[in-house]
Amino acid sequence: MPDPGNALPLYQQALAAGTIPLQTCGLDRLFMVVDQRAGKTCLSYRRVAGTTITMLDMFAHKIE
């Protein structure tokens, strides 16, 4: 799991470039991204204002 302090600028760049496949989440205007990193399913929830990420939460689950 990347350090969120390092991840936020990378997510911000990807969002501005339009390369993040955002899924609408029915909770509080959040968007969700699901991806796989190093054998872990990672869920990232973010609040977005235009092309700026204003909040980022990251969770990882190791599938065994």
Complete edge-to-edge strand list for the sheet that includes strand 40-49? 23-24, 31-37, 40-49, 52-62
Q: What is the pLDDT of residue 61?
A: 65
pTM over 0.75: no
Q: What is the pLDDT of residue 8?
A: 76
Q: What is the pLDDT of residue 64?
A: 54
Domain map of the chain by residue range? 4-62
pLDDT by 10s per residue, the chain, length 64: 556 667 778 878 888 888 877 777 766 778 888 887 777 788 888 888 888 888 878 776 655 5
Residue type, 26: G
